[in-house]
Amino acid sequence: MSTALQLHRWRRLDWRWLLPVPEVGDVVLAGPADALLVDALPLLGSSVRRVERREDWSAVAGSADLVVLVQPDDADVRGAVAALRPGGWVYAEVRRDLRAPRGRRTLLGHRAALRRAGLVDVTAHWHAPDFASCSRIVALDDRTVVRDALGRHQAVRFGAALSLAGRTALRLGLFPLAVREGSLVGRRP
């Protein structure tokens, strides 16, 4: 395997630094994950099991230290919480989808669903500009960090206008609704 491909796989796992634990144990993956994420997860040095169908959640109940979800629905979130050992973490990648059922259209809707499922310490992050070409992961709970990230987009085409629109949305408390692709991290108490 080429060094460039290996580095690209590691870069796909940059979100691992959002977890406050240096090592993860057993990992469960569910949802329509891209091939690069599937290939990269074994680099964490853990066993990785895939949940393909709803019935598969019962086979992994209580066995995971980390559950990685991609575009989860309510059943996936419930299954993930049941799969976690106490103190385990959920990492969820979500994309804004205005056609999705109410409560699942934006990052904020997904964050509320994780909290309703009993997860604590739930944080939201913007993968700027998107998962495929992510150059920074921005914590949405820190307005100063978001403002700084928005200021860095002024050099691109229409960047000044987009930055102004983003800062206005941030001032109004609406910026998380505008995030196209982001992630959530939550812990099972």
Q: What is the pLDDT of residue 102?
A: 77
Where helices occur in the chain by DSSP H, the ranges are 3-12, 35-40, 74-83, 107-116, 143-151, 159-171, 175-178
How confident is the prediction along the chain (189 residues), in pLDDT tens digits per residue? 577 767 778 888 999 999 998 888 999 999 999 999 999 999 987 899 999 998 899 999 999 999 999 999 999 999 999 999 999 999 999 998 877 777 778 888 999 999 999 999 999 998 987 887 788 898 988 877 777 777 766 566 666 666 666 666 767 776 777 788 999 999 999
Give the per-residue pLDDT at 155: 61
Sketch out the chain's domains with CATH numbers. Answer: 3-142+181-187 (3.40.50.150)
What pLDDT sits at residue 182? 94
pLDDT score for 69: 97
Cα distances from 100 to residues 24, 110, 129, 178, in angstroms, run 31, 11, 21, 15
